[in-house]
A and B are shown apart, each in its own frame.
Chain A
Amino acid sequence: MVSAPLTVVHDSVPALSVVAPLYNEAQNVRPLIEWILQALQSYEGSYEIILVDDGSRDGTWGEVRAAAADPRVRGLRLGANVGQTAAMMAGFDHARGEVVVSLDGDLQNDPRDIPALVAKLDEGYDLVCGWRQRRQDKLLLRRVPSWLANRLIKRLTGVPITDNGCSLKAYRRDLLQRISLYAEQHRFIPALSASAGARITEMPVRHHARRFGESKYGISRTLKVLVDLITLKMITTFRSRPLLGFGIAAIPAMIISLVFAALWVVSLTQFGPEKASALVFPGAGLLAMGVAFYLFMLGLVAEVALNSERGNANDIPNAWEVR
Chain B
Amino acid sequence: MSAQGILMEPISDASTRTATGTKLISVVVPVVERADDLVAVYQAFARELDTRPEDYEFLFIFDGRFTPPPELLEVARKKDSVRLLRFARAFGETAALRLGIEKSRGDTIITLPAYFQVQPEGIRLLLEAAGTGADMVVASRSPRLDSWLNRLQSRAFHSIVAGVSDQRFHDMACGVRVMRRPVAEALPLYGDLHRFIPALALREGFRVEEVSVPQHPGDARTRVYRPGVYLRRVLDIAAFFFLAKFTEKPLRFFGLVGSVFLGVGAIMSVVLMVQRIEGQGIANRPALLLAVLFLALGVQLMGLGLVGEIIVHLRAPHRRAYRVRERA
Q: Pick the interface stretch among A34-42, A208-216, A290-298.
A: A290-298
Report yes or no: A234 in contact with B310, Cβ–Cβ below 8 A.
yes
Beyond A227-B255, A291-B300, A314-B317, whether A239 also contacts B325 by CB under 8 A is no
**What is the total number of residues of chain B having a CB less than 8 Å from a CB of chain A?**
60
CA distance A227 to B255 in the complex (A): 7
Which chain A residues numbered 184 to 234 have a C-beta less than 8 Å away from chain B?
184, 224, 227-228, 230-231, 234
Nearest A residue to B309 by beta-carbon distance? A231
Report yes or no: B299 in contact with A291, Cβ–Cβ below 8 A.
yes
Report yes or no: B320 in contact with A278, Cβ–Cβ below 8 A.
no
Beyond A3-B6, A77-B326, A86-B321, whether A253 also contacts B314 by CB under 8 A is no
Task: Please give the residue numbers on chain A whose beta carbons come within 8 Å of chain B beta carbons, in ascending order.
Answer: 1-6, 54-55, 61, 64-65, 68, 74-83, 85-87, 89-90, 93-94, 180-184, 224, 227-228, 230-231, 234-235, 239, 242, 245-246, 249, 253, 263, 267, 275-278, 280-281, 283-284, 287-288, 290-291, 294-295, 298, 301-302, 305-306, 309, 312-314
Report yes or no: B288 in contact with A280, Cβ–Cβ below 8 A.
yes
CB distance from B43 to the nearest CB of A (A): 37
CB distance from B224 to the nearest CB of A (A): 37
Other-chain contact of B284, A82, A276, A313 (Cβ < 8 Å): A276
Beyond A78-B324, A224-B252, whether A312 also contacts B317 by CB under 8 A is yes
- Of the listed residues A68, A89, A280, the one surrounded by the most CB atoms of chain B closer than 10 A to its CB is A280
CA distance A68 to B281 in the complex (A): 76
Residues of B within 8 A of A74 (CB): 327-328
Mask of B250-289 contacts with A, CB within 8 angstroms, 1/0: 0110011000000000000000000000000111111011
Report yes or no: B322 in contact with A79, Cβ–Cβ below 8 A.
yes
Task: Please give the residue numbers on chain B whose beta carbons come within 8 Å of chain A beta carbons, in ascending order.
Answer: 2-8, 166, 188, 202-207, 248-249, 251-252, 255-256, 281-286, 288-289, 292-293, 295-296, 299-300, 302-304, 306-307, 309-328
Beyond A1-B188, A61-B326, A280-B283, whether A314 also contacts B316 by CB under 8 A is yes
Report yes or no: B323 in contact with A78, Cβ–Cβ below 8 A.
yes
Nearest A residue to B9 by beta-carbon distance? A6
Residues of B within 8 A of A309 (CB): 314-315
Question: What are some 28 contacts across the A-B interface (CB < 8 A)?
Answer: A1-B6, A2-B6, A4-B7, A4-B318, A6-B7, A65-B328, A74-B327, A76-B327, A78-B325, A80-B204, A87-B322, A93-B7, A184-B249, A227-B251, A227-B255, A231-B251, A231-B313, A242-B307, A245-B306, A277-B283, A280-B286, A283-B289, A283-B292, A288-B292, A291-B295, A295-B303, A305-B310, A312-B317
Report yes or no: B300 in contact with A180, Cβ–Cβ below 8 A.
no
CB distance from B205 to the nearest CB of A (A): 2
CB distance from A35 to the nearest CB of B (A): 19
CB distance from A55 to the nearest CB of B (A): 8
The A interface is mostly helix, strand or loop, or mixed, namely helix
Other-chain contact of B307, A6, A61, A280, A298 (Cβ < 8 Å): A298
Report yes or no: B300 in contact with A89, Cβ–Cβ below 8 A.
no
Report yes or no: B206 in contact with A79, Cβ–Cβ below 8 A.
yes
Nearest A residue to B324 by beta-carbon distance? A76
3 residue pairs, one from A and one from B, having the closest CB atoms: A79-B205, A277-B284, A75-B328
Report yes or no: B289 in contact with A280, Cβ–Cβ below 8 A.
yes
Given pairs A1-B2, A5-B320, A77-B328, 13 additional interface contacts (CB within 8 A): A6-B7, A75-B326, A75-B328, A78-B325, A90-B322, A230-B302, A231-B306, A242-B307, A242-B310, A280-B289, A281-B283, A302-B311, A306-B314
Beyond A74-B328, A89-B320, whether A287 also contacts B314 by CB under 8 A is no
CA distance A235 to B326 in the complex (A): 34
Beyond A74-B327, A90-B320, whether A235 also contacts B313 by CB under 8 A is yes
CA distance A281 to B283 in the complex (A): 7
Nearest B residue to A295 by beta-carbon distance? B303
Residues of A within 8 A of B188 (CB): 1
CA distance A117 to B206 in the complex (A): 37
CB distance from A253 to the nearest CB of B (A): 7
Report yes or no: A305 in contact with B311, Cβ–Cβ below 8 A.
yes
Nearest B residue to A178 by beta-carbon distance? B317
CA distance A181 to B312 in the complex (A): 11
CA distance A1 to B252 in the complex (A): 24
